[in-house]
Amino acid sequence: MSASVLSSALAGVDAFPVEVEVDISGGVPKLTTVGLAEGAVREAQERVKAAIKNSGYEFPNRKITINLAPADTRKEGSSFDLPIALAILAASTVSLSPERMHNYLIQGELALDGRIKGIRGALPSALLARSKHYAGIILPRENAAEASVASNGTAVLGVETLRDTVDFLEGLREIEPYASNVGELFTAASQYDVDFSEVRGQEQAKRALEVAAAGGHNVLMVGPPGSGKTMLAKRLPTILPAMTFEEAIETSKVHSVAGLMDGRALIATRPFRAPHHTISDAGLIGGGTVPRPGEVSLAHNGVLFLDELPEFRKNVIEVLRQPLEDNRITIARVMGTMTFPASVMLVAAMNPCPCGFYTDTQHECTCVPLMIQRYRSRISGPLLDRIDIHVEVPAVKYRELTARTPGESSAAIRERVNRARGVQLERFAGTRVFCNAQMGARELHGHCQVEAAGERLLELAINRLGLSARAYTRILKVARTSADLDGGGPIEARHVSEAIQYRSLDRPAP
């Protein structure tokens, strides 16, 4: 006897269909799994056997062959437990409805007592079920909310036990499809527990972050310990434009594959990821025998914050060069090549010198010029060129700390950012460019014409500072954003001046 069940496996952040085939024949009792099954899939044999017996069914004491097709593609994870168990039951004594078995995509990890546990990648699997026009997807109850946001008419059936699933496939009971209210999810996610009004002083740094948010630019903040660099960075997502549904789905797919949804149905706020400086290069950009997304991909459509940037190992931060240019990461391994999305705003922070007090008027710096030069040289020129804005964050004065008047709120700043982004969306309509930071050579030539006074200022700055061609284009992009915040008019000398002052680390070290 033989039977088959539809399921899926993950390749990067997308799912592909897998047919779980089971054949039961005479011979020495043995359970064999073929089809390039990785460790967790091979271990499913023992979980499936115990779950079937503890759910009240008879496990066939015969030769059982399990094939995961396509057989030339590796499969990993525990989501094949449930389809394997159902295929074994269908091929032995339980009469499951062939129509239901072949019209639903089925996933789930089995506990030994027959309960169904949550899995990774429920959202990509739901998107696959929708694209293949399946009647629905059957998966663990705790993943139902996540899968339902992308169902768009495809039934999402959350199950809790193996017996519940068998009863449904036998036609003995019905399961109510799970439905999510996407509007309510976005409304609930739009509330932040931090606000820019809580930041005292640092008006120049706030302005720099506003420009960064308006144009999608990368930022490096330089200042002594305790000046508020981390506080400012954590509040950057509160002034970024609200996520669109498509962006939320893209971001949620990455978190779903990484198993980091934590019961949420949708990632509807822009992510803020702040890895520790001891992270490895694989942890930052992704990797492993079976590649998984790293911190850069988990920050997709959000903010990646690297505090104490010079303390990161050089080989780790250097791998950021390609993702910052291409907005994606391609990882090649023996088992295949995976591409993960990585459209992030990089926000980094560092001290001006090893002791941290070089720019602090209240503390004496104990570093000699050679120490400062070595400290700053931990960040390579090519990486520094890819950071559009360098802003100094000085120590906050007592009068600013104790001021009773709150600063400008995130809502007020976000309103200006949204207006500037609206100008850019209109400008780049019909292209794959969505903000100034993504402009290529063609867009720079077409949209970044500078008035005569600004041209003279640019020429003087480039000759004095010895800026690279990449730094020149970054200045043009930031100047374009500064002009967009003023309504989207031509780039004037004041806009160029503001962009140049955001290149402080291009100036010679003391």
pLDDT in tens, 359-385: 788 888 999 999 999 998 899 888 888
Please state, in angstroms and as integers, the Cα–Cα distance from residue 357 to each residue in 137, 209, 292, 391, following that order: 58, 23, 40, 16
100-104, 165-169, 200-204, 400-404, range with greatest mean pLDDT:
165-169
Percentage of the chain modeled with pLDDT above 90: 64
Residue 100 has pLDDT above 90, yes or no: no
β-sheet bridge partners, residue 106: 138
Q: What pLDDT digit, counting tens, does each position of 402-425 carry?
A: 887 888 999 999 999 999 999 999
DSSP labels, 449-500: -B-HHHHHHHHHHHHHHT--HHHHHHHHHHHHHHHHHTTS--B-HHHHHHHH
Helix (H) or strand (E) holding 253, with range, is: helix 245-257
Q: What pLDDT digit, counting tens, does each position of 300-315 carry?
A: 999 999 999 999 999 9
Mean pLDDT estimate for the chain: 90
Tell me the pLDDT band of 331, cut-offs 50, 70 and 90: confident
Of the candidates 270, 253, 3, the residue with the CA atom closest to the CA atom of residue 149:
253
Q: What pLDDT digit, counting tens, does each position of 111-170 carry?
A: 999 999 999 999 999 999 999 999 999 999 999 999 999 888 899 999 999 999 999 999
CB 200 within 8 Å of CB 226: no
Give alpha helix (H) positions in 293-342.
295-298, 314-318, 321-326
User: Which of 180-194, 225-239, 475-489 bottoms out in mean pLDDT, i.e. has the lowest?
Assistant: 180-194
pLDDT score of 241: 93
pLDDT score of 507: 56
**Rounded Cα–Cα distance for residues 431 and 104 (Å):** 38
Structure-token match 């950021």, residue found:
320
pLDDT score of 498: 94
pLDDT score of 506: 66
Q: What pLDDT digit, counting tens, does each position of 470-491 carry?
A: 788 999 999 999 999 998 889 9
Q: How many Cβ atoms from other residues are within 10 Å of residue 189's Cβ?
A: 18
pLDDT score of 510: 47
Q: What pLDDT digit, counting tens, does each position of 34-82 carry?
A: 998 888 888 899 999 999 999 999 999 899 999 999 998 888 889 999 9
Backbone angles phi, psi at 349, to 5 degrees: -135, 145
Helix (H) or strand (E) holding 158, with range, is: strand 155-159
Please state, in angstroms and as integers, the Cα–Cα distance from residue 118 to each residue in 38, 62, 256, 319, 369, following that order: 19, 30, 11, 33, 56
Query: Which pair of structure tokens corresponds to residue 357?
Result: 């007090």
Residue 339 has pLDDT above 80, yes or no: yes
pLDDT score of 196: 94
CB 381 within 8 Å of CB 469: no
**Rounded Cα–Cα distance for residues 392 and 453 (Å):** 26
